[in-house]
Chains A and B, each alone.
Chain A
Amino acid sequence: MAENSMTTDQRNIMKFDPKDHEIALSTEDLHVFYGKSEAISEGDLQFERYKISALIGPSGSGKSTYLRSLNRMNDRIATVKGKIMYRGLDINSNDIDVYEMRRHIGMVFQRPNPFAKSIYENIAFALRQRGMTKKQDLDEVVERSLRQAAMWDQVKDDLNKSALALSGGQQQRLCIARAIAIKPDILLLDEPASALDPVSTSQIEDTLLELKQNYTIIIVTHNMQQASRISDYTAFFNLGKVLEYAETGDIFTNPKVDLTNDYISGNFG
């Protein structure tokens, strides 16, 4: 710990030049409090459009808290201060319609959480709640989303089966399909593969690389191989602070911050 506190001043945070990079989402001076304790004290990041950005760091470093603040899933649990800029809007302000905002910034969670409904309904349900009622339209979106999540061929004959009967990996892909069915701009993923076996994990990774063409993806992961395999940019969190944010290749081969190096070489965390 003493070592950590000595080196936390050392930081290396990349900023994009807006001329060459389109920023999909960025945070400015973000602080997150659980009660009185501060979980995130410095979190200023920019996320480029149609790229995969990975958030890594040891347990309790605040990476999940940070991610969950981005679409305000922490609203009732924590106090989030600072700005979250999306399309020129501060979505952390009080006048934002949170429910509408989450249709633009979707989320997939650590544990697969399909609804206790059929596979079809898992996807169609939220669409219907927002007024898409024509069976033909719904069928179309269900098929397209399941195809994008690379599971259409496996489940196309079982659409009326309960989603809870699927395997863990399939459930998680259904959750991804469900999230992209409402066509968000940005997809937040909170360790989406940590509860899955290696085969399912690599399928999910393939799916994410595929989705990158149309979505901005921000993913929290414990798995450093995963971060290096799929992400374009990587942010390293420690003790509630972003210590380093750079291109993934640089982070893994040439980290500028000592702690990043310690972490990726497995010395702590």
Chain B
Amino acid sequence: MNAKRIDKIATGVLYGVAALVVIILVALLGFILIEGVPKISWHFLTSPALAFEAGGGIGIQLFNSFYLLFLALLISLPISLGAGIYLNEYAPQNTVTGLIRTTIEILSSLPSVVVGLFGYLFFVVQFKLGFSILSGSFALTVFNLPILTRSIEEALANISNDQREAGYALGLSRWETVTKIVVPAALPSIITGVVLSAGRIFGEAAALIYTAGQSAPALDFSDWNPFNISSPLSPLRPAETLAVHIWKINSEGIMPDAKAVSAGSSAVLIIAVLLFNFLARWLGKRLYKHLTAE
């Protein structure tokens, strides 16, 4: 066989493989959306779930998902930012920082169910936080920290050393250079990383089953005092999220319309995660454009 022929065959095979991947993805997304989207209504999105009757919604689960996401990011973002800055800007290249990097890599490949069980033993049992928003957001933080740290570290590493030297040459200190020049320049990719990790947190179930719990008690949406247990903001109430809800309905749901609720919830979840991804790209591009041209 001559080289030209081999090249043609290889090209064909590669096209085929790529097409297969796309087909699987489109089929999966299409199935979930076609099954689920017709079930979505304002009522479905806002009313509480019903355990034994048809017509329940996912209002509380949806709220819980966003609230947990918000808290998890609130805790993990400053820590990751600090760790990323330390690792990329301050840490000397030696065995200790090498060890830290390896640890972060191992942590980031930890199965989320293990994170969930750790969260259960550590936050729920040891610290007596119970099945609660707090336990859940701590578990999500453990789950999110290594990945976010890595992505922030990479975003900073992509900023050319020329930028740092420019700062030093103007008599700026290392801290000024990092905070006022390097981090702002890396902001587009940092934000992309944050939003992408938000998508992962939003769809996470295994880490939450044993930490934030599997029940969504009725909430009083007129009470915004976080110290009242029925308040939506209460950090000590159990909070089933959308992803956990889907898992639960499919394993032990006994409402007559379980299939429909599951399909609708899945579609909402997929749409939310897709939105996070598009938002990440859009924000990253916008910011990049804003920085490079008017």
Interface positions of A (Cβ within 8 A of B): 71, 73, 99-103, 106-109, 111, 113-117, 125-126, 129-130, 158, 160-162, 164-165, 175, 178-179, 182
Contacts and interface: CB of A to CB of B under 8 A. Distances in A.
B291 A182 contact: no
Given A115-B166, A126-B170, 14 more contacts: A73-B168, A99-B172, A101-B171, A102-B169, A103-B171, A106-B169, A109-B162, A111-B162, A116-B163, A116-B292, A162-B290, A179-B169, A179-B170, A182-B171
Most buried by A among B171, B173, B176: B171
B216 to A, nearest CB: 45
Given A115-B185, A165-B292, A165-B294, A125 B180 contact: yes
Given A162-B293, A162-B294, A165-B294, A182 B160 contact: no
Interface in B146-197: 160, 162-163, 165-173, 176, 180-181, 184-185
A126 B172 contact: yes
Nearest to A102: B171
Question: Interface SS of chain B: helix, strand, loop or mixed?
Answer: helix
Contacts of A115: 163, 166-167, 181, 185
B92 to A, nearest CB: 9
A113 B160 CA distance: 9
Question: Interface SS of chain A: helix, strand, loop or mixed?
Answer: mixed
B170 A116 contact: no
A126 B171 contact: yes
Contacts of A117: 184, 291
Given A100-B171, A182-B170, A109 B291 contact: no
B172 A73 contact: no
Contacts of A161: 293-294
Given A129-B172, A182-B170, A73 B165 contact: yes
A126 B170 CA distance: 7
A261 to B, nearest CB: 35
Most buried by A among B167, B169, B184, B294: B169
B252 to A, nearest CB: 53
Contacts, number: 74
Interface string B265-294: 000000000000000000000000011111
Given A109-B165, A113-B166, A162 B292 contact: yes
Contact of A106 (B163, B170, B184): B170
Contact of B293 (A114, A164, A178): A164
Interface in B200-226: none
Contacts of A99: 168, 171-173
B180 A164 contact: no
B176 A129 contact: yes
8 closest residue pairs by CB, A with B = A113-B162, A103-B171, A107-B169, A126-B170, A102-B171, A116-B185, A165-B293, A116-B291
Most buried by B among A73, A100, A113: A113
19 contacts: A71-B169, A73-B168, A73-B169, A99-B168, A102-B171, A103-B170, A103-B171, A113-B165, A114-B166, A115-B167, A116-B185, A117-B184, A117-B291, A162-B292, A164-B291, A164-B292, A164-B293, A165-B293, A179-B170
B194 to A, nearest CB: 19
A37 B292 CA distance: 40
Nearest to A100: B171
A70 to B, nearest CB: 11
